Amino acid sequence: MTKPVLYLIACAAGPAQYVDEGVRAAQEAGWDVCLVLTPSAARWWEPRMAEMAELTGHPVRSQYKLPWEKDVLPKASAMLVAPMSSTTLNKWGAGISDTLAIGLASEAAHLGVPVAAVPHFNQAQGAQPAVARSLAVLREQGVLVLDGPQGPGAHPPEQGDPRGFPWARAVGALGRLLTDGGR
Ligand SMILES: Cc1cc2nc3c(=O)[nH]c(=O)nc-3n(C[C@H](O)[C@H](O)[C@H](O)COP(=O)(O)O)c2cc1C
């Protein structure tokens, strides 16, 4: 049986260093995972990009394709933006999709593709007034935003726990989003 396709979209927030753990958690839950990185996150993974392509079985994408290029990834059944940086959150909330990562997720939310997002940023970043507005705008569009101990602005600067990012919980919530609308 063909597996459902998950676009795991990671921004340059601390836990993106361990996005391979997110890929494995989603694979264990039965997803065919395609990894999409913001251009900033792609810089972090540049030395190990081939490893990620091998792990997922798909090219890792981080840039919009050129007009004459074909899509290299299968169509997504769902998308998970994790970790979501404050920068990507605020651009998305403002309707700016200048990265492939935001472009895919923001359009998916209006194409009937379930989208979940797990923010990860510190209290100082989360205190920007734009953050609360952007979170509300995403929720208004049906995006499942997962809060929690790693949630928006939860930790003081320099005290995040990127290794403790809740990959399995995010994948579980995404599964519930597909089966019962996230309840
Ligand atoms: C080592 C490092 C860790 C960072 N961690 C975070 C983070 O956890 N959350 C966040 O919102 N930004 C974090 N940033 C800042 C983002 O990388 C920066 O805002 C960037 O523009 C995000 O772009 P992107 O959302 O397109 O990936 C971090 C930057 C560095 C260099």
For ligand 1, atom 16, which residue shows the shortest CA distance? 12
Residue from 36, 63, 87, 106 to probe ligand 1 pocket by mutation (most atoms less than 8 Å from CB): 87
Phi, psi of 17 (to 5 degrees): -65, -20
Could you give the count of Cα atoms lying within 13 Å of 155 in the half-sphere of its Cβ?
Answer: 16
pLDDT at 180 over 80: no
Gap from CA of 3 to ligand 1 centroid (Å): 32
pLDDT at 151 over 80: no
User: How big, in percent rounded to 5, are the helix, strand and coil portions of the chain?
Assistant: 45, 15, 40
Q: Is 134 in the pocket of ligand 1 (CB under 6 A)?
A: no
Q: Where are the domains of the chain?
A: 5-65+74-180
- pLDDT tens-digit readout, 46-103: 999 999 999 999 999 999 999 999 999 999 999 999 999 999 999 999 999 999 999 9
In whole angstroms, what is the distance from residue 119 CA to residue 88 CA?
10
Q: Which residue has the tokens 């200048």?
A: 98
- pLDDT tens-digit readout, 159-176: 788 898 999 999 998 888
Q: Evaluate whether the domain defined by 5-65+74-180 bears CATH number 2.60.120.260.
A: no
The reply to whether the predicted model has a pTM over 0.75 is yes
- pLDDT tens-digit readout, 92-134: 999 999 999 999 999 999 999 999 999 999 999 999 999 999 9
